[in-house]
Structure 1
């Protein structure tokens, strides 16, 4: 454990938005969220195992707490003085029991946040159907459990539940991209016909930032999604059209199990198998928003929700 690096606050000594702790700041979502919080006037602190891996664009504008989220002392150091905490920690790495690790991490984080007097936790979870947890995929059931643990921590928590996030660097988008580009003809699982409500990364970031301003007593889940409900097959065809590829010939079969499909995905995409396999397993479910309450509370993104093909266009142009 190393000491938090202190940086000067605003010139007038006033911190208009409070201190926000961002975990997982070297990851996809966390790395994009930090500069937006800075623009909103937050003092931002990041918890990271290695300060050297932080993006150069904002590394010198934040407080850095080097440490490990599995260590109570490191959590206490990172959370000290924080008003708001973004929880982007997960253990999907292909080794061991990620469900048990995520359960333990969430419990310890929730306890440490409560003891530190944090006013709100914001967690990005997975959109899922309204069925018993035991019938969900392992990945989605774990995401649901983590959200429940954080909401039960004693710290008001906003659990934002999203399906496929469309943005360059999103694991689920990269899987979609590589499947579409590399396989003009494919035999695929029947659940590629399941309905999905994807959401553009800009919209996800809008809701993550806005969740900081929710009323103090709000402690619940929120579904977030884009304006389009599509099958995974339609998403692949939409990606092909936006990127100038020919129409993809996709034949679905009822016999390709999630286990087999995960290995199939691993053969044709560079997405890490420890991440790809749980994501593929979750595609057996239809994931469509059941409510739109967060937009009613904090407002929609500027210009409205981003259509799927527009989100794809932005993602490709941003490469």
Structure 2
């Protein structure tokens, strides 16, 4: 299958594209700055195309007549106006698609808690708005909703890792004591690839790793696997904006990104069901997903640099990852 990955310089794409190549797909990597693709070991194995999702002409030029599937991995968490920008970008893509030969669009979103729309965080509301906009396309549109992604280089994993390592005590606000269902980047990439070819109609799927865990317990598990002794201090009154700013300062993560990730923790971020396995990846039914403990262990394992990047564990560090 000939597939265009929009947002090819991001973390998920860095692991997804090798999976697509291994499965025999012909990949075109779409990015605003093509030189940023040079840092990935697979960059010479893909076609490259410049694409600016805020410019309809750019999108039109990027989707050549051979492209059958578009994988949309665009999220603007690193800017203050990300919600408006993401919505406009999605509208541009939908406007362009009728003039292409694209048959399917796969979008990676976030878990949407079962609460009133008005109570959603800005981050999750933005993801939902993009999903709703893309669903207006006449093509088959499959949205995959994921919570925390475990893997070295994942923004949410790196935030948890750096906060645990750099603070002498783990401070947990009461509003953060909710459940989360992480998924390893390896399982997530398999879900995306399955969504490209599954005989299903448009819709969304929660893609969870199968293990629901309290976020406070996840922090303890990370510390245990990493061999770090950390006590937790639970405080009743810490505003999200303050926590995000402190987290950004400590971890060097962009403040908007940190706030987007942290505010998602004020609700349970768990999959509503396991339909993604039975309907998208039936060949995986009965097989084990990567456990949270194993995923953390593999993410923290020092890579063997004598082994070619293509043969290394995708959960571990790879060339091109941002530290």
Provide TM-score, normalisation by structure 1.
Answer: 0.90
Contact 1:88 1:124 in 2 (8 A): yes
| Structure 2 partner of 1:21 | 4
> What are the superposed Cα offsets for residues 255-312 of structure 1, whole Å, 9 maximum, x if unpaired?
1121121122123212221211111111111111111111002133895111111010
| Structure 2 partner of 1:63 | 47
Counterparts of 1:284-295 in structure 2, within 5 Å, are 284-295=266-277
Q: SS of the residue aligned with 2:290? A: coil
C-alpha RMSD over aligned residues: 1.6
Identify unmatched segments of 5+ residues in structure 1. Answer: 1-17
| Structure 2 partner of 1:41 | 24
| Structure 1 partner of 2:73 | 88
Q: Cα–Cα, structure 1 residues 301 and 123, in superposed 2: closer, same or farther, change >3 Å?
A: farther
| Structure 1 partner of 2:202 | 219
Give the Cα–Cα distance (whole angstroms) in 2 for the partners of residues 27 and 229 of structure 1. Answer: 26
- Which of 24, 42, 50 aligns to 2:33? It is 50
After TM superposition, which residue ranges in structure 1, 4 or more long, deviate above 2 angstroms? 299-303
Counterparts of 1:220-259 in structure 2, within 5 Å, are 220-246=203-229, 248-259=230-241
| Structure 1 partner of 2:265 | 283
Identify unmatched segments of 5+ residues in structure 2. Answer: 302-315, 318-323
Give the Cα–Cα distance (whole angstroms) in 1 for the partners of residues 50 and 86 of structure 2. Answer: 20
Give the Cα–Cα distance (whole angstroms) in 2 for the partners of residues 252 and 32 of structure 1. Answer: 35
Q: Cα–Cα, structure 1 residues 202 and 302, in superposed 2: closer, same or farther, change >3 Å?
A: farther
Q: Cα–Cα, structure 1 residues 186 and 31, in superposed 2: closer, same or farther, change >3 Å?
A: closer
- Residue 113 (structure 2) pairs with residue 129 (structure 1): yes
Give the Cα–Cα distance (whole angstroms) in 1 for the partners of residues 238 and 267 of structure 2. Answer: 15
Q: Cα–Cα, structure 1 residues 301 and 268, in superposed 2: closer, same or farther, change >3 Å?
A: farther
Give the Cα–Cα distance (whole angstroms) in 1 for the partners of residues 134 and 286 of structure 2. Answer: 30
